[in-house]
Amino acid sequence: MIDDLARVEIALDRAVETDFAFLDRIARHLIAAGGKRVRPGFCVASAATGLDPAVAVSDDVITGAAAVELVHLGSLYHDDVMDDATVRRNVTSVNAEWGNHRAILAGDYLLARASELAASLGTEVAALLATTIARLCDGQIRELQDTRNVARTLEDYERSIAGKTASLLATACRIGGISGGVGRADIDAVTEFGHSYGIAFQIVDDILDVTATEAELGKPAGNDLLEGTFTLPVILAMESADGAQLRELLGTDLDSDAHGRALVLIRASGGVEAARDHARAWADKAAAALTSLPDTLGTHALQAAAGHLVERAALPS
Ligand code: GRG
């Protein structure tokens, strides 16, 4: 599967190629910066759940893997505009380097290239990717609508992250299964895995925003709270026995002093530990979705990913 991921890099390189040098450069900016390539990895691994280890995945699977990474990239370009982010993947963000207008259009360009790739895989994959882009927008808009909402609930949060994060991870797995010729029941199993993994993944990401440093994250820490995005550890802290003081603080415009005090209250509330329990439960659910799959390298790779997530969520704060 290592070779398969090298094939994805070649597919990404070809997909964004254009003879307009500036667009070529801006479109490649975050591809070149790296990233974990979780979504292409899941696409390839899902296809490989039905394969003998000696057999490489088909070119269609590589095309699907590149398409999901391009949608992810497009969403990062847009997300960084919305957050006015300055750093992404440890490099200057596209908006900070070239401005919001160019970042939005370059993000659109990546989505368009992703759509071309998906169309080459047939109507089922093309429609699935289009539906997923709609879900990303749905989840992100839900989050925006809940900005500074101290009454935001666990259900509100989970609906938002199901769209903005889990939908693309589920689709990465599903496209791998479909384009890899996996049986229908197994396609549904990897899709369920991707969804549950995606929920756990976002909860872990949100915990790290409260607990980790900028150096560990590759982007500024504590940003969600400053933006007024109340994620799971914050929601659970607000619902805890001593939550009233935190709710009152978060109901005001946070200056840096209030931001620091809010972080102290959140860390002392047990909200981080409670959020970790949720992440662990979703990661366990993801692992459980794999039990009916054949005993192959692809299945092992997905199992290992679920295991690592649980480990990450178990880190001390
Ligand atoms: C235009 C497709 C599109 C969407 C518009 C902006 C938006 C709506 C949605 C934002 C979705 C978003 C950025 C969700 C966060 C998902 C997330 C946890 C990203 C980080 O993923 P990693 O850790 O990043 O896999 P790397 O850099 O490793 O790939």
DSSP string, 199-258: HHHHHHHHHHHHHS-HHHHTS-SSHHHHHT---HHHHHHHHSTTHHHHHHHHTS---HHH
186: burial class by Cβ within 10 Å (0-12, 13-18, 19+)? buried
| C-alpha of residue 241 to centroid of ligand 1, in Å | 33
In the chain, domain spans:
2-312
Cβ neighbours of residue 300 closer than 8 Å, sequence gap 6 or more: none
Answer whether CATH 3.40.50.670 is correct for domain 2-312: no
- Name all residues whose Cβ lies below 6 A of ligand 1: 35-36, 38, 71-72, 74-76, 78-79, 82, 89, 107, 111, 133, 136-137, 140, 164-165, 202, 205
Residue 256: per-residue pLDDT: 83
Kindly report the CA angle at 271 between 278 and 227, in degrees rounded to 5? 100
pLDDT in tens, 92-108: 999 999 999 999 999 99
Ligand 1 atom nearest to CA at 79: 6
Q: Kindly state the tokens that stand for 160.
A: 């938002």
Protein residue closest via CA to atom 4 of ligand 1 = 75
Structure confidence at residue 317 (pLDDT): 42
Residue 72 Cα to ligand 1 midpoint, Å, equals: 5
Q: What is the pLDDT of residue 314?
A: 63
Closest ligand 1 atom to residue 89 Cα is 27
If you measure from the C-alpha of residue 201 to the centroid of ligand 1, how many angstroms do you get, rounded to a whole number?
11
For residue 152, what are the contacts with CB-CB under 8 A and spacing of at least 6? 146, 230, 235
Closest C-alpha to ligand 1, atom 26 = 35
CA of 143 to the centre of ligand 1 (A): 13
Low-confidence residues of the chain, pLDDT below 70? 1-2, 218-220, 310, 313-317
